[in-house]
Amino acid sequence: MDILVLGSLNMDLVARVERLPQPGETLTGSSFVTVPGGKGANQAVAA
């Protein structure tokens, strides 16, 4: 079976924080990673 997926592929930038910030507030993250993402990539993995 062949599958063709047309859609975006991008890198998600993820930072870990203790809580969600309040509007206008800046928090410091404790870790940072880049992971593949995007609508096209997510659909291809799900297929």
Question: Which pLDDT tens digit goes with each residue over 1-47?
Answer: 898 999 999 999 999 999 999 999 999 999 999 999 899 988 888 88
Predicted pLDDT at 1: 84
Q: Which amino acid is at 29?
A: G
The values of phi and psi at residue 19, to 5°, are -160, 170
Report domain extents, the chain.
Answer: 1-14+31-47
Which pTM value belongs to this model?
Answer: 0.58
Predicted pLDDT at 47: 84
* Nearest-angstrom CA–CA distance, 16 and 32: 7
